[in-house]
Amino acid sequence: MTTPIPSPPALPFLGHVTQIDREIPQNTFDLLADQYGEIYQLNLITRTTIFVASYELQQELSNEKRFQKTVIGAMEQVRNSMGDGLFTAYPGEENWGIAHRLLMPAFSTAKVRDMFDDMVDIASQMLTKWERFGPRHVIDPSEDFTRLAFDTITLCAMSYRLNTFYSEQTHPFVQAMADFLAECGRRANRPPLVGAFMRGANAKYEEDMKTMDKLVNELIEDHKKNPTEKQDLLSIMLNGVDHKTGKKLSDDSIRKNLITFLVAGHETTSGLLTFTLYYLCKHPEAMRKLREEVDSVLGGEPIELAHIGQLKYTSACLREALRLSPPATGRTVRALEDTTIGGGKYAVPKDAVLAIMTAKCQMDPKVWGEDAREFKPERVYGENFEKLPPNAWQPFGYGMRACIGRPFAWQEAHIALASLIQKFDIVMHDPSYTLELKQTMTIKPKGFYIHAIPRKRSSSPVAVSLSSALVGAPSMPSKSYSVSSSENGDVKAKAEPRQKLYVVYGSNTGTSQTFAQRIASDAPSHGFKASLGTLDSITEHVPTDGPLIVVTASFEGEPADNAAHFFEWLQSLNGNEMENVKFAVFGCGNRDWVRTYQRVPTIIDAALEERGAKRLHERGAGDAQAAEFFQAFDEWERQLWKKLAEEYGIAVDDHATPASGIHMKIVDLGTSRAAALRQPDADLGRVVENRLLTSPNAPAKRHIEFQLPEPMTYRAGDYLAILPHNPSRDVHRVISRFGLSPEQQIVLSSDGPTSLPVDKAISIFSLLSGYVEISQPATTRDLRALLSAESSGATKAALEDLSAAYAEKVMAKRLSILDILEDHPDIRLPFGAYLEMLPPMRVRQYSISSSPLHDPQRPSLTVSVVEAPALSGRKDPFLGVASTFLATLRPGDMVQLAVRGSGAAFHPPEDVSIPMIMFAAGSGLSPMRGFLQERAIQKKAGRDVAKSTLFFGCRSPDEDFLYGDSDLKEWAELGIVDVRPAFSQCPEKSTGCKYVQDRAWQDREIIKYAYDYQNARLFTCGSGKMAQGVKKVLTELIKESKGCTDDEAAVLFERAIQGRYATDIFE
């Protein structure tokens, strides 16, 4: 007996058309596959299509005796231009057979090899353009790869030079083609009656086809007027005779096939190269291996034909990119008879249309493993590729209708990728960019920009952009200093700093960047001219003409996004490459991650020394959850300047009057309000819902939903990064303390690198609200600055007292600079100096508490609102910056936000038969709710979902049992989760268990069975204290089970959690 093919709920007459994303239909199809599994069915008004998303079904549908390629939907609309060309012909059309027999030999490996020189010619034009524009230029690789592929196909196949690299604008054909293909997709999902009334769209559609025809007619006429001895593709089409029928191609068929080659010949190749470059930028180890191969094979010589076969890792990178993101997202077949698929599980009637989702089939965990979504070229390298099951990799289609131009595209892609890697270091313009798509008939990355930095350059870093690379800092001679010269003795100078200093950072959340900014800003007053940038900006080019100061963090033992390439490259060195480098390292971390605390800074510090660099100052370490975090940095920085002064013979006059590097000019006294509308951009999301989850007796926790800007989306387990505003109360406190008006318009300028908005008018309120952290505890450095300002003797004594007992009286009480200034109104501190003391506003990352299967554009957050008595003893409560900001949002408010990916392990297993064991307390439930919502939707879609277990801690069932009477109750009844609560204030209602770890120990047999017999994955989200408690329980469970010692159990725990346990710990 067969199983019905599942289908989402549909609307009368319209079917499922309204559920499909208009801009990126592929996102909808992928999400439905995540929800329904290997097969589902959609009613698309004019047709019903069965979608398949597993290797097993792809393999079965690759039997051309049972299933045949069909042209339907958007492809049928494309026929309006391409007709019976090779790509869009119906099965059995005569012209397809003639063209196929004539042109197959033209795309043989031998013929494509003859095109090598022309391909290199066009690739060199692109590389020359990148060199000419320089490393600061922001490159859209998708656009330039489109030019590359377009020029290559016209030169190699038609002996015609379009020379698009010599034009500012893209060729009209390219834009017309993109618009035409996009409209074909929309027409396919539009009721015919509606389409008839869309006169504007129809007119544009006709005009686009005329534009494409115009180029094709020009190519044909040029070829006829200027015949060539080269037997190129167009020559064969014009003069060739089919040996089977004795016929030549008609003029109309030539035109249609030329359009086919121009579209298919450049659209997919440009997508392949752009995706490959994206994945390489996100995976530094793969980029390093590719660079090593290119250097080994090509050396410093131009690429030659013989090199192509030696570029095996290059091939693997291209294959893996095609596996994860095939530009042609699928192919469609029609059943030739009544049949069944899936081992007889699903009945398929004759003429049923089935769409094979190539990417989903190529990420089937049964073939590719649980890490199938990860970019790992090794899995398709050499013999590993040869060992794959039949038809597991099909980005070029299959059988008689597979891509005829595969050898052409493959050679072209190898030439382009190897040549650009040989010449350039590729750096993402935005290191935190995550993949977004744009779609016509194919898909490409959207909003992906790079910088191409020449590899053959001096050791001094090259500045490219403020977001990613070193930015030179103008000098700021705010103190007197002298430079010692061994030949001339002491030479006193009140000149600008000349000694270069390089400050680089690795930072995701902004703390390391803040510290690096502080060093760069201080540099001129210590006699140094600073440059500031990311660690990735100095990969392969570590500066030697000045000290290198590294400030970096670890994120679960991994480097920050903007330090990953440098980290990977540094570890790959094995000589004395750093012998002329002088350096110092400060590491940021959190001891709650015991196994990986300070891992990245420690490795960088040791590797630099091992490779011959001279350490100028001992590695500093700051623990973000410790009271002494900022004090540790301040003390390390103070000692750093002393060591640098000794090393470079720079003496600073410590008695000089401190001067602010921030200068202020009043532009508007605030008597009139300037109203300016802020238009939403790609980073603006809209608040949809904001509701309280807890009772009035418990600390507030809120459920907040956002509408993301298109095409931003997310995965369950990802973060939503929020750029908040300071509480208005605190902003007004600052304004009052300095006697300003909130509406005053000012212009800031700076003598050094700064995160403040400079050289443009801004109101005092906007500046204080959005650009600086007001509530951060004062640092020891801040206290020294306040002491140097003019004040009374009593105030100076009070400040000395705070400095002497910093940990107790400042850090433990979270005493801010503002608190101190309010307590001591006689401190005469300029507003500019105050601004300079404040750290820049940081983004706050919150775990998303929903699944994209519910709505890919509408993530939710579950947020604890921080409002508590001030530790400083002040009458006003302490307000958390981001949580207060979020709590006050109303539906319709616009918020600057971004989706940030979590660690690869912090997502629900792809295999829904694998259960999850989850430990969470309070708002730590957030990602677990997303996981469970995803499993619930999959269960409702008919998939066989394993039951998971949730250990959840809160105060009581009546106060803050989040989602306890709604989602969790529903999902428990659905059978996808067993909720095991622990109520800290009424443990009698949770079997005597007060905390999560207590409940986990009591129910340890459930954990043991799920881990040992069901291959369960474990997740923890919550405070460091709770996470340590869970770790202790799991270690004790091992100890009890194995009968071993504490030390042995600890070792076994570390071994057991590899690939099976993921944590997300917050302060």
Burial 852-877 (b: 16+ CB within 10 A, else e): bbbbbbbbbbbbbbbeeebebeeeee
Catalytic residue among 281, 403, 588, 993: 403
How far, rounded to the nearest angstrom, does the alpha carbon of residue 566 sit from its chain's CA centroid? Answer: 18
Question: Known catalytic residue: 396?
Answer: yes
**Alpha-carbon distance 695 to 415, whole Å?**
64
Distances (CA, A) of 865 to 496, 626, 895, 1036: 48, 22, 17, 34
Contact 531, 499 (CB under 8 A): no
**Bridge partners (DSSP) listed for residue 356:** 52, 331
Q: Could you write out the DSSP letters of every residue in 261-296? A: HHHHHHHHHHHHHHHHHHHHHH-HHHHHHHHHHHHH
Q: Rg of the Cα trace of the chain? A: 32
Question: Known catalytic residue: 434?
Answer: no
Contact 427, 533 (CB under 8 A): no
User: In terms of C-beta density within 10 A (0-12 exposed, 13-18 middle, 19 or more buried), how is residue 691 classed?
Assistant: exposed
Catalytic residue among 152, 211, 260, 268: 268
Catalytic residue among 396, 885, 919, 952: 396
Helices (H), 738-867: 764-770, 780-788, 793-804, 806, 817-823, 831-837
**Bridge partners (DSSP) listed for residue 454:** 424
Q: Is the dihedral of CA 285, 287, 291, 297 positive or negative?
A: positive
Distances (CA, A) of 513 to 505, 553, 643, 900: 6, 10, 22, 18
Helices (H), 283-353: 284-298, 305-308, 312-324
Distances (CA, A) of 747 to 332, 342, 832, 925: 60, 68, 11, 44
The backbone torsions φ and ψ at residue 981, rounded to the nearest 5 degrees and listed phi first, read -80, 160
Q: Are strands 614-615 and 582-589 parallel, antiparallel or unpaired?
A: parallel
Query: Could you tell me which of 657, 650, 654 has the C-alpha nearest to residue 491?
Result: 650
Q: Are strands 39-43 and 48-52 parallel, antiparallel or unpaired?
A: antiparallel
Q: Are strands 878-879 and 948-954 parallel, antiparallel or unpaired?
A: unpaired
Contact 23, 710 (CB under 8 A): yes
**CA geometry: angle 509, 511, 513, nearest 5 deg:** 95
Burial 243-274 (b: 16+ CB within 10 A, else e): eeeeebbeeebbbbbbbbbbbbbbbbbbbbbb
**Alpha-carbon distance 82 to 89, whole Å?**
8
**Alpha-carbon distance 384 to 126, whole Å?**
33
| CA atoms within 13 A of residue 808's CA, in its CB half-sphere | 4
H or E element that contains 472: strand 471-472
Residues 6+ away with beta carbon under 8 Å from 219:
154, 158, 160, 234, 258
Q: Are strands 353-357 and 330-335 parallel, antiparallel or unpaired?
A: antiparallel
Helices (H), 653-721: none
Q: Is the dihedral of CA 684, 689, 694, 697 positive or negative?
A: positive
Question: Known catalytic residue: 596?
Answer: no
Helix (H, G, I), strand (E, B) or coil at 349: coil
Q: Are strands 528-534 and 471-472 parallel, antiparallel or unpaired?
A: antiparallel
Residues belonging to the active site: 268, 396, 403
